Amino acid sequence: MSDLYRSAISARIDKLPQSPTAAPYEIEDGEEDEEENDSVASLPSMPPPRSSIQKPKTRKKRSPNPEYSPISAAGYFDQAVEVTVPAVGLNFRVYYSPPTVVGGTVMICHHGAGYSGLSFACFTKEVMAQTNGKTKLIDDSMSDADLSVEVLSRDAYNLLLTLFPKPAETPTFLLVGHSMGGSVLVRTCPMLIESKYRVTGVAVLDVVEGSAIDALPFMNKLLDSRPNGFDSIEEAVEWHVSNHTIRNPQSARISVPSLFVQSESPNDHEHEFKWRTPLRSTAQYWESWFLGLSSKFLAVRAARLLVLAGTDRLDKELMIGQMQGKFQMIVVPDTGHMIHEDNPERLADILMEFWRRNERVVKGVKKVGEL
């Protein structure tokens, strides 16, 4: 949240670039194109005020830049798994690379608000090298409008129960959540432990409760700075890279296409591609996503890791917890809010070291965060 927080409260917001106007199967090239056909809802358009007699101007569309063309996720994950979870009425798209040895550890990665599981593609490839989302309703008549943290945590819990129904035969979990996803997994962890699943640790990426709550009043202004859509996926990727939302072009070319859906009938003054997730419409849940995160993180009965993009100020609870050695904190310089995309190799190193320290601990040595 550090990079997002800094962006929200600084004048640089106004300078952000504007629009130029359960059965597994192998991932095939072009599969991400299918993402465009599944839509949660669109981000409400916010055209500037204009006179009632003024006609909308026709925009001059740019030719797609091939340097920002989409890249398939094939080769980054072993499988894409479509998982039906009747308990919550959802079909989940899960990208999965199983452990290479029996009894290995599975990293459960949860993306942040407005992003998808493909944001962890480059990170996953780095982890696999070191160790040799789309989601839709089952029944269209059901509602997925409730995005409170309690519902999101329940969804994550039930998804894992469906994927791994027998705790005694399930690999150890290492929970890794980015931003809102970190808050979700912090709340999911106690449910898993109570159900006898083994959790080595919880890693939260770039979110601090205090900074997140402080940034909320500025979120609408931050969303105002985003274009309503784009004329091509290449243009969308270029926008994310050029304004440093994602600083790694390779990762952006994999993850950004899944963030958009094609407009049904675009006209001369509308964009061909619109945002898949309506972030502004989730405003009523923003505070619930982060409120109480610090205390719940410190209460997790597993090793704890906080990875930040900058020297973000810790709130009082985390500051005391750090002084008491209740969690490990690492700052990754030269990255933004999307740490796992900006520097997936460094994050893989951090999480592998965290896992080795806590999963294969010798007798008599306490795990990180243990009293």
Catalytic residues: 179, 206, 337
Strand partners, 84: 91
Question: What pairing do the DSSP bridges indicate for beta strands 328-331 and 229-230?
Answer: unpaired
Question: 248, 219, 245, 262: which is closest to 341 by C-alpha?
Answer: 248
C-alpha angle 93-344-295 in degrees, rounded to nearest 5 = 75
CB burial readout 313-334, b (16+ within 10 A) else e: ebbebbeebeeeebbbbbebee
Question: In the numeric block, which tokens belong to residue 233?
Answer: 């996926």
C-alpha dist (Å) from residue 66 to 97, 232, 233, 234, 261: 29, 11, 10, 7, 19
Q: Going by C-beta distance under 8 Å and a sequence separation of 6 or more, which residues neighbour residue 108?
A: 156, 160, 173, 174, 175, 176, 185
Q: Which residues of 283-293 are buried (b: 16+ CB within 10 A; e: fewer)?
A: eebbeebbbeb
H helices present in the chain, as ranges: 2-9, 121-130, 149-163, 180-194, 209-215, 219-224, 233-242, 249-255, 283-290, 293-299, 316-323, 339-342, 344-359
| Nearest Cα residue to 39 out of 183, 229, 223 | 229
Place of tokens 């995160």: 293
Sign of CA dihedral 205, 203, 26, 134: negative
Q: Phi and psi (nearest 5°) for 74? A: -60, 130
